[in-house]
């Protein structure tokens, strides 16, 4: 948790943008797994954490946007709770640590909101993504589940996005720490990977590194020899010689800031020439993106610049043919990289995705493309210092997608479908770093960049 002035200042800046009505912010509750008392690890809502810093379940906050009065609603523990959880600080004491003067039992939240509704005041709330909070909002505000998303306050969404998008120095310090933990997590896998291991063994090692230092991984680990499946969470395969293992994983530190890195490792410790040819294209696109990313440039243009590198590289290998600019305009790169170049990162690994991807990743004058790949770009905005983004180009050979384009004749003038058949068992390559936009350009977050060149990877693997 940061100093209380950090939270006071954030809420003050929030009220500079939301000037009328009542702001309701719901924290998260415990979520049951397979029976009520067996719960998933608790994860606080990130906007609640950002504005109120309290990392405990069953809290809600109300801010009167006109008077500035702030309340935390929550229940103090009783003796039954103390028997199971031990003594807990009083809600009033917790609220004081983040500069909130008023507290009340959770049951009083309904009265508070009803009084505001009776006066015809607007209640601003963020789009709920957990069923518990959807039910709560229904009970508190009488909103139907189908209207809940559309009824969320656009003013509040935009205000929270504007604040959270630009990371403060204290946040960057935490993200650097998360990236250092992410480094340790990936480095352990690079060192331990051996042909004959089951993928899950590496997942266990990586997640163990994180659990030893932080609360949790920042998203379910992706680790697979079938890296052409972009988010492959099946880790049952035995690693065999000559394959590529895509490892996309991240850590959270106790403050809940995240990291997200991807490396692609040759299972036997050495890349084949065919693998190297594709790897170097992805690495060039990754390096280009970091060098091109700077204030004033849109990340959409960086995505398109990286796409050009990918298409040019594939043309050099004879996998596509034609004018590179024409191919990029036609979206040929989507066949090989059907995802965006990156996303915002912070308290969420896909930062604020719950608030709406377009509010978070698009400037008001930008519209989201429909094309495969570009349409999945989660961060298109003009870059400014303080943005934290991922740089994650990839090239994948997805037989079902290639066959679909082939049967439809889609971009047939550009794609060498015959030659692509020899890549059907290739898999995929993705290389992901985390970047901070600075006044001068972009820097990789964390103290050190994970090994990434062919030489660095080969010198790291299969050595003690
Ligand atoms: N690293 C996982 C993702 O960005 O979706
Ligand atoms: Mn990512």
* Alpha carbon of 260 to ligand 1 centroid (Å): 7
Question: Which residues is 433 bridged to in the sheet?
Answer: 391
Distance CA 454, CA 437 (A): 26
Distance CA 261, CA 392 (A): 8
* Alpha carbon of 390 to ligand 2 centroid (Å): 6
Cβ burial 129-162 (10 Å sphere, 16+ → b, else e) = eeebbbebbeebbebeeeebeeebbebbbbbbbe
Best residue among 392, 428, 430 to mutate for probing ligand 1, ranked by most atoms within 8 Å of CB: 392
Q: What tokens appear for 213 in the block?
A: 């230092």
pLDDT band of residue 176 (cuts 50, 70, 90) is: very high
Q: What tokens appear for 302 in the block?
A: 């960086």
* Alpha carbon of 261 to ligand 2 centroid (Å): 7
Q: Where along the chain do the CATH 3.90.230.10 domains lie? A: 169-460
pLDDT band of residue 38 (cuts 50, 70, 90) is: very high
Q: Are 372 and 346 in contact (CB under 8 A)?
A: no
Task: For the full predicted model, state whether its pTM sits above 0.75.
Answer: yes
Distance CA 144, CA 314 (A): 51
Q: Is 260 in the pocket of ligand 1 (CB under 6 A)?
A: yes
Best residue among 219, 346, 348 to mutate for probing ligand 1, ranked by most atoms within 8 Å of CB: 219
pLDDT band of residue 11 (cuts 50, 70, 90) is: very high
Check whether 369 has a pLDDT greater than 90: yes
Q: What is the pLDDT of residue 24?
A: 98
pLDDT average, residue stretch 413-429: 98
Which tens digits make up the pLDDT trace of 188-229?
Answer: 999 999 999 999 999 999 999 999 998 999 999 999 999 999
pLDDT average, residue stretch 284-293: 99
Best residue among 217, 247, 263, 432 to mutate for probing ligand 1, ranked by most atoms within 8 Å of CB: 432
Burial class of residue 209, CB neighbours in 10 A (0-12, 13-18, 19+)? buried
Check whether 233 has a pLDDT greater than 90: no
CA distances from 383 to 202, 287, 294, 354 (A): 36, 17, 6, 21
Q: Where along the chain do the CATH 3.40.350.10 domains lie? A: 4-165
Question: Which residues is 222 bridged to in the sheet?
Answer: 248
CA distances from 83 to 59, 74, 87, 105, 444 (A): 21, 19, 8, 20, 46
pLDDT average, residue stretch 400-425: 98
Distance CA 14, CA 68 (A): 10
pLDDT band of residue 461 (cuts 50, 70, 90) is: very high
Give the number of the atom of ligand 1 that is nearest the alpha carbon of residue 342.
Answer: 4
Map tokens 């103390």 to a residue: 82
**Phi/psi of residue 24, nearest 5 degrees:** -115, 125
- Considering only CA atoms, give the Rg of the chain: 24
* Alpha carbon of 248 to ligand 1 centroid (Å): 7
Q: What is the pLDDT of residue 144?
A: 97
Give the number of the atom of ligand 1 that is nearest the alpha carbon of residue 230.
Answer: 5
Distance CA 286, CA 292 (A): 10
Check whether 82 has a pLDDT greater than 90: yes
* Alpha carbon of 34 to ligand 2 centroid (Å): 29
* Alpha carbon of 254 to ligand 2 centroid (Å): 20
Q: Kindly report the CA angle at 132 between 87 and 161, in degrees rounded to 5?
A: 95
Q: Is 248 in the pocket of ligand 1 (CB under 6 A)?
A: yes
Distance CA 293, CA 305 (A): 10
Distance CA 298, CA 216 (A): 32
**Does the structural domain 169-460 have CATH classification 3.90.230.10?**
yes
**Does the structural domain 4-165 have CATH classification 3.40.350.10?**
yes
Distant-in-sequence, close-in-space partners of 47: CB < 8 Å, separation ≥ 6: 25, 126, 160, 164, 352, 355
Check whether 462 has a pLDDT greater than 90: yes
pLDDT average, residue stretch 317-330: 98
Which tens digits make up the pLDDT trace of 100-146?
Answer: 999 999 999 999 999 999 999 999 999 999 999 999 999 999 999 99
pLDDT band of residue 56 (cuts 50, 70, 90) is: very high
Q: What is the pLDDT of residue 232?
A: 87
Distance CA 302, CA 289 (A): 6
Distance CA 228, CA 337 (A): 10
CA-closest candidate to residue 322, choices 462, 330, 438: 330
Give the number of the atom of ligand 1 that is nearest the alpha carbon of residue 262.
Answer: 1
pLDDT average, residue stretch 180-192: 98
Distance CA 70, CA 258 (A): 28
* Alpha carbon of 431 to ligand 2 centroid (Å): 10
Give the number of the atom of ligand 1 that is nearest the alpha carbon of residue 343.
Answer: 4
DSSP-derived pairing of the beta strands 102-104 and 70-73: parallel
**Phi/psi of residue 99, nearest 5 degrees:** 75, 25
What sign does the dihedral 453-454-455-460 (CA atoms) show? Answer: positive
pLDDT average, residue stretch 236-240: 97
DSSP-derived pairing of the beta strands 222-224 and 244-249: antiparallel
CA distances from 50 to 157, 257, 260 (A): 13, 10, 20
Residue 272 CB neighbours (<10 A): 13
Which tens digits make up the pLDDT trace of 383-398?
Answer: 999 999 999 999 999 9
Beta strands in 65-207 (DSSP E): 70-73, 102-104, 123-124
């Amino acid at each position: 948790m940061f100093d209380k002035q950090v939270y006071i200042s954030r809420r003050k800046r929030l009220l500079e943008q939301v000037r009328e009505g009542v702001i309701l912010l719901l924290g998260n509750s415990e979520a049951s797994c397979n029976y009520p008392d067996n719960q998933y690890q608790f994860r606080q809502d990130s906007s609640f954490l950002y504005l109120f810093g309290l990392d405990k379940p069953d809290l809600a906050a109300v801010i009167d946007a006109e008077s500035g009065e702030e309340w935390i609603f929550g229940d103090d523990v009783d003796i039954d709770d103390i028997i199971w959880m031990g003594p807990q600080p009083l809600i009033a004491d917790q609220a004081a640590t983040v500069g909130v003067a008023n507290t009340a039992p959770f049951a009083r939240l309904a009265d508070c909101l009803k009084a505001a509704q009776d006066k015809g005041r607007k209640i601003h709330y963020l789009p709920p993504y957990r069923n518990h909070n959807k039910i709560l909002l229904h009970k508190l505000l009488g909103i139907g589940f189908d209207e809940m998303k559309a009824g969320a306050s656009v003013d509040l969404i935009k205000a929270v996005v504007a604040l959270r998008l630009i990371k403060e120095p204290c946040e960057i310090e935490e993200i650097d720490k998360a990236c250092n933990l992410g480094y340790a997590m990936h480095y352990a896998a690079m060192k331990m990977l051996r042909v004959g291991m089951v993928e899950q063994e590496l997942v266990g090692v990586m997640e163990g590194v994180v659990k030893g230092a932080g609360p949790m991984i920042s998203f379910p680990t992706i680790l697979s020899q079938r890296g052409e499946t972009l988010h492959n969470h099946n880790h049952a395969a035995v690693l065999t010689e000559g394959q590529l293992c895509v490892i996309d994983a991240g850590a959270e530190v106790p403050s809940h800031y995240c990291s997200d890195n991807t490396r692609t490792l040759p299972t036997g410790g050495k890349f084949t020439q065919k693998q190297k040819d594709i790897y170097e294209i992805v690495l060039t696109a990754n390096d280009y993106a970091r060098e091109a990313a700077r204030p004033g440039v849109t990340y959409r243009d960086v995505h398109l610049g990286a796409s050009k590198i990918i298409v040019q590289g594939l043309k050099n290998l004879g996998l596509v043919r034609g004018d590179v600019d024409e191919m990029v305009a036609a979206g040929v790169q989507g066949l090989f990289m059907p995802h965006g170049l990156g996303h915002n990162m912070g308290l969420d690994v896909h930062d604020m995705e719950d608030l709406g991807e377009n509010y978070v990743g698009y400037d008001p004058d930008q519209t989201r493309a429909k094309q495969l790949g570009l349409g999945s770009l989660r961060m298109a905005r003009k870059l400014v210092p303080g943005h934290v983004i991922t740089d994650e180009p990839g090239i994948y050979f997805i037989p079902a997608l290639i066959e679909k384009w082939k049967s439809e004749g889609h971009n047939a003038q550009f794609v060498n479908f015959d030659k692509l058949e020899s890549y059907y068992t290739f898999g995929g390559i993705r290389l992901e770093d985390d970047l901070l936009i600075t006044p001068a350009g972009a820097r990789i977050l964390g103290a050190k960049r994970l090994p990434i060149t062919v030489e660095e990877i080969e010198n790291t693997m299969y050595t003690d």
